[in-house]
Chain A
Amino acid sequence: QKEVEQNSGPLSVPEGAIASLNCTYSDRGSQSFFWYRQYSGKSPELIMSIYSNGDKEDGRFTAQLNKASQYVSLLIRDSQPSDSATYLCAVGNRDDKIIFGKGTRLHILP
């Protein structure tokens, strides 16, 4: 069973601090990795995608991928109350399927 694991949270982070969200996956052949943000009652929307080992930065967001450790993370710098949401990690595996983690609830404390 191919799995994507995330800590369900809630993860509470003070406003202005760095929020660190983590995800592990079981299929070593996975090729594509995504972070989606989902506000309560809304649909998921893409934050970042990453395909190669290392870091990828986009504004306040940085995705980090380590395929050897089967680990992907999302860092949010200068956290804002509007970042409070559930963050879904998604992994595209070698069977051309995408598997979603159950999500981490992030709460930014004003």
Chain B
Amino acid sequence: TAGITQAPTSQILAAGRSMTLRCTQDMRHNAMYWYRQDLGLGLRLIHYSNTAGTTGKGEVPDGYSVSRANTDDFPLTLASAVPSQTSVYFCASSDFGATDTQYFGPGTRLTVL
């Protein structure tokens, strides 16, 4: 099985442009997460979804939005990118919540100029 896939692998984006990072899992996990990872700051939760149809805000949600129309897909949208959103973005999933192992996708490296 593929597990979790993310697209694109990397992207350079002009400030002010919008972009959607895609995340798909084939494990039928209930919960999905979006993190950003920055040097010296570790993994920070942006948004999460405990089950299809629900979403919640994490530690750093400003400037990002998510949707969870079905179990498998959890896209992350930047409506108007800013340079501070330059980061590596990881999507993850788990069968339950914080008590369960999270499985990570390969990541998307985003540079906003």
Interface residue ranges, A against B (CB under 8 Å) = 31-32, 34, 42-46, 49, 51, 88, 90, 92-93, 95-98, 100-103
Contacts and interface: CB of A to CB of B under 8 A. Distances in A.
A44 to B, nearest CB: 5
Interface of B: 35, 40-45, 50, 58, 90, 97-107
Q: Which 9 A-B pairs have the closest CB atoms?
A: A92-B98, A102-B42, A43-B104, A100-B43, A96-B97, A32-B99, A98-B98, A96-B98, A46-B101
A98 B99 CA distance: 8
SS of B interface (majority): loop
A6 B23 CA distance: 29
A41 B98 CA distance: 25
Contacts of B90: 43-44
14 contacts: A32-B100, A42-B107, A43-B104, A43-B106, A46-B103, A92-B99, A93-B98, A95-B98, A96-B99, A97-B58, A98-B98, A98-B102, A100-B35, A102-B40
Contacts of B40: 102
A3 to B, nearest CB: 11
A52 B99 CA distance: 12
B110 to A, nearest CB: 15
